[in-house]
Every structure is written in structure tokens, then in C-alpha cells.
Structure 1
Amino acid sequence: MAFVQKRSTLKVWGDVIFAIFLREIKSQFNDKLGIAWSVVSPVLFILVLSFARGRLDGGQTHSIPTFIFMVYGMLLITFFIAIVPSISNSISKNKPLFAFRQVQPISGVIALAGFQLLMKIAVYIGIFSVCYFIHLDVKIDNLIRVILIFFEVWLISISIGLVLALASCYVPEVKKLQVLAMRPMFFISGVFFSLQDIPEEYWHYLNWNPFLHAVELTRYAAYPSYGNAGVSYFYLDMFTLCSIFFALACYCIGWKQAISR
């Protein structure tokens, strides 16, 4: 006699997320280099950029080793740039799966966001391993604060990606605007420069950007001598909460209509 095993809603939801997560791993790493290239590529990019910046300021940028200065900026912004397109395509990418009532758009969002998070953790480990082998002195004064800022950038990126995913179901041209909006992020988020390099009277043109706050505050949390002039933990925290609330509100209101279009 066969027995039918009943699963709770939470168990079903977890299985769906895990299945999408595994599918994403297989689709992303089906070449020979696989996951190694996702770690090696940003490390090489940061090495080239930090060498160029180091030639200008002698290897120290506002009391931080130039390589570490570039690492914090590059990893946070590339994290954002990787997550937003991935999440914004999650609904259209997984649309055939929505024929099954167990699968909802939020499952794909969580799976893709978790995948990107694990990817960046691997990149961080790779970069700090490089620092260890080249005998570069790495200092993190407030590790908890660095992790929290990294987590806040992750949440903001998911929120923006989710709103764009819903919007693109109604207006496909949103994806073209998204590409244009993402390009300047490297230049306005403090990746190559510090806010201290710019005259104070021009700060208000840049410090509306939460990612600039995240980059500068991460450097400050690692090296307190760097300073936190012009940036605010409160602004970053409030922007994170508001973006999560807005994204979840949009999802609750419009996800059924979005997948039916």
C-alpha cells in the first residue's frame, strides 16, 4: 500500500527555491573555467585598477592601502550591478514555471539573490587570500559593521531588481532604461575616488546615492582613520528599509497581474 507524504507549505516553498538555485548554478557554470573564473576575473580587474591608482598616490589612499581601497568599492558596486539585472529578469526567465501553482515569482527572486550572495562571498575569500599571499596588511576594525553594510547593499539591490522585474512585465522598455541607468554607477559611487577628493561644496551632487554611503562607510569601518565625512549610517539604514518596504508592497499588489501578462 502506497502512502502519500504530505509536505507543509514552507517545505514546498523551500524545495522550489532550492531547485531554482541548482538550475542557476548549472546554467552559470557550464563552461570549463566554471566558478573559478567568477573569482579570478574581479580579482584581476581590481589589481589593474589599484595599480593605476597606486601610481598616482604612492600606494596609500587616505590612510588605506590602495588595493584595499579599490576592493571595497569594486566589490560593493559589482555586487549591485550583478544582482539588479539578475533579479529584474527573474520573472520573465522563470515564467514557464509559474504554470505550477507551487512556484511564485518571489521564489525565483530569493534563489537568484542567494546565488549572487554566495558568489560574492567566494570572491571576497579569493581576494583576501590574494592579500595574504602577497603579504598585504589587511585591517578590518569593525567586521560586524562591514558585514551589515554588505547585507544592506544586498537588500537594496534585491529591492530595486524586484521593482524593475515587475515594471518590465508592464513596460518592456524599462530594461533599456535600466541598462542606461546602471552604467554611471561606477563613476558616482566612490569606486575610483573618495568623497574627500572632491570639494565639499559639490558633495550634495553625489551623497544622495546610498551606494556612495555604503562604500565610504565600509572603508571607514575597516580603517577608522579614513573618516566618514559627508556620509551617514542613518541615511543608508533608512534607504534600505524604505526600499524593502516599497518593493514588497509593489510585489504584493501586482505580482499576479505581472505574471499573467
Structure 2
Amino acid sequence: MLQRTPLQIQKAVIYSLLVREMKTRFGSYRMGYAWALLEPLFQIMVFMAMYSFRDRATVGGLVLPVFLATGIAPFLYFKKVVTQSLGAVAANRNLFIYRQVRVFDPFLVRFLLEMMVNFVVLLVFIVGAWHIGYEVKVVNSLAFLNAYILLSLFSFGLSLIFGVVNTLYPEVGKFIPVILRPLMFISGTFFSINDMPRGIQDILAWNPLIHAFELMRSAFADGYNTSLVSFEYLGMCTMVALFVGMLMFRANWRRMLAV
């Protein structure tokens, strides 16, 4: 019998954990994967109704479904990556008796699952908006992919930070979901930073999430105003989050395993 290489073993572990996570997350619900679409769809419909009262059909040149989808769906993605990391160690603790399964693996698997599901959800919303008659065009797919990748890595970095904190200090970890709730209202999920007063723009610009969402939106409209956001700032925040997250995990993974 041929001995498997470390890479083959790692791929088998990731695949097995991914299948297990999918069955645990979606298999226990009757709606299953449909809920991944229904949750952002409901919020998009609510905010579309609010915009209709103001007689606005577009924002920054984007039709409302695309504008809201590129804010609400990515924010829910960010939130789920972070919150799912809080229980990553506890939910897989019985698997750590196998030496092939590392403490890092559940964090990676939960992140990969959310990344794949959300990307499909975003595509479904954008294609769906075009299919029902809205004017949808892609003017810079590279900007969209770059912003999505940076948002993903930023979310993963924070997930490691919060995952370590919650595993070692559960009392402190209880405040993490509380901190995340108001983020939706200051991250440009349902509004553009360009529509805000100058003083508020300066404050909002510190939030890397609003940079990600606005840059993603620029991929679907010619001349979308991105003067207040930048890939450089989003990239810097992503590198800091990843560095701190990996450093905290590296320093504490043995303690996390022993808790």
C-alpha cells in the first residue's frame, strides 16, 4: 500500500471536515441551502421597499437589487465567518484525538464553506436581477474579485482573532456578537458612503468593510464614485488582521486544545 503524502492527508482531512460541516450546517434544516438565499433576500426586499418610498430606483448608477446585494450579502458573509469561528474548536474537539486533524483545520473549513456559499449567493442575486429585467452590466470583474478576496481574507483574520479569544475566554467571547450587530448600520450595507455628509464620511472611511462593499459595487457601474475608498486601505487592514490572527493562533493553539 502506497503511503500518502502530507499534502494528500491534509486534502483528505479538509474534504472530510467540509462534508461534515455541510451536513451539520444545512442538513438539519428543512430549508437546507435555501436559507442561505432567503436570509439576504428578505433583507434586500425590506430595504428595496424603504427606497421605494423615496422614489429611488438606482444608487450611484446601480439598480437597487445589485446595489443592496453587494452590501447585504457580503456583510452577512463577513458576520457568519466571524461568528462560526467562535464555536469551531468546541464543535470539533472530539476529532482532535486524530493526529491528522489540527486545531487550525475547523477554522479553515468553516471559512471555506462560507466563502463558497456566499459567492454562489451573490452570483444568484446578480444574475437573478438581470433575468427579471433589471439593467445589470459588469464593467470591471477584476475589481469585484479583488474586493471579494480581500474581504474574505480580512474576515478570516478576524475569525482567528475572535476564535482564539472565545475559546480561551468564553466570558469575553459573549460580547463579540453584540459588537457585530451595529456594524451593519455603519458599513454601507444599504447606503453609499458618497451619500453621507462630509463629517460622517470621514468617520465611516475608517471601516474597512465599507471599502470592500463600495469597491465591489464599482464593478457594476461606469463611473461609480470610489474616491473615498481604496484597495490600499482595505489591503492594509487585511494584512494586519491576518498577521494578528495568525500570531494569536500560533501562540495559543496548544492552550486552545487543552481548554
Is TM more than 0.5 here?
yes
Number of the residue aligned with 1:104: 102
User: Pairwise mapping of residues 88-127 of structure 1 onto structure 2 (< 5 A)?
Assistant: 88-127=86-125
Query: Secondary structure of the equivalent of 1:220?
Result: helix
Number of the residue aligned with 1:7: 4
User: Pairwise mapping of residues 83-232 of structure 1 onto structure 2 (< 5 A)?
Assistant: 83-232=81-230
Query: Secondary structure of the equivalent of 2:170?
Result: coil
State the distance in 2 between where 1:229 and 1:129 align. Answer: 27
State the distance in 2 between where 1:203 and 1:44 align. Answer: 28
The answer as to whether partners of 2:74 and 2:118 remain within 8 angstroms in 1 is: no
Query: Secondary structure of the equivalent of 2:229?
Result: coil
The answer as to whether partners of 2:140 and 2:219 remain within 8 angstroms in 1 is: yes
Provide Cα deviations, 1:82-128, integer angstroms capped at 9, x if missing partner: 11111222112111111211111211112111111121122123212
TM superposition outliers: structure 1 runs of 4+ over 3 Å: none
Query: Secondary structure of the equivalent of 2:205?
Result: coil
State the distance in 1 between where 2:181 and 2:112 align. Answer: 24
Q: What TM-score does the superposition give when structure 2 sets the normalisation length?
A: 0.93
Distance 1:66 1:237, change over 3 A: same
Quick check: 128-137 or 154-163, which moved more? 128-137
State the distance in 1 between where 2:34 and 2:86 align. Answer: 25
Cα displacement (A) at 1:135 = 0.9
Cα displacement (A) at 1:157 = 0.9
- Identify unmatched segments of 5+ residues in structure 2: none
State the distance in 1 between where 2:257 and 2:102 align. Answer: 9
The answer as to whether partners of 2:166 and 2:174 remain within 8 angstroms in 1 is: no
Cα displacement (A) at 1:208 = 0.9
The answer as to whether partners of 1:162 and 1:247 remain within 8 angstroms in 2 is: yes
State the distance in 2 between where 1:45 and 1:77 align. Answer: 12
State the distance in 2 between where 1:46 and 1:87 align. Answer: 26
State the distance in 2 between where 1:156 and 1:199 align. Answer: 27
Q: Alignment identity in percent?
A: 26
Cα displacement (A) at 1:229 = 2.8
Query: Secondary structure of the equivalent of 1:190?
Result: coil
The answer as to whether partners of 2:13 and 2:100 remain within 8 angstroms in 1 is: yes
The answer as to whether partners of 1:189 and 1:209 remain within 8 angstroms in 2 is: yes
The answer as to whether partners of 1:16 and 1:103 remain within 8 angstroms in 2 is: yes
Cα displacement (A) at 1:216 = 1.4
State the distance in 2 between where 1:163 and 1:90 align. Answer: 12
Provide Cα deviations, 1:236-258, integer angstroms capped at 9, x if missing partner: 01111121122112222211122
The answer as to whether partners of 1:54 and 1:66 remain within 8 angstroms in 2 is: no
Number of the residue aligned with 1:78: 76
Provide Cα deviations, 1:174-227, integer angstroms capped at 9, x if missing partner: 321101111011100011221122211232221111001111122223224220
Cα displacement (A) at 1:43 = 2.1
Distance 1:209 1:173, change over 3 A: same
Number of the residue aligned with 1:67: 65
The answer as to whether partners of 2:194 and 2:201 remain within 8 angstroms in 1 is: no
Query: Secondary structure of the equivalent of 1:225?
Result: coil
- Identify unmatched segments of 5+ residues in structure 1: none
Cα displacement (A) at 1:37 = 2.8
**Partner AA of 1:139 in structure 2:** K
Q: What TM-score does the superposition give when structure 1 sets the normalisation length?
A: 0.93
* Corresponding pairs, count: 258
Provide Cα deviations, 1:18-61, integer angstroms capped at 9, x if missing partner: 11100111112223322123223322331232232133142122
State the distance in 1 between where 2:146 and 2:36 align. Answer: 23
State the distance in 2 between where 1:202 and 1:44 align. Answer: 28
Cα displacement (A) at 1:147 = 1.0
Q: Pick one of 249, 252, 255 that aligns with 1:254.
A: 252
1:21 maps onto 2:18 in alignment: yes
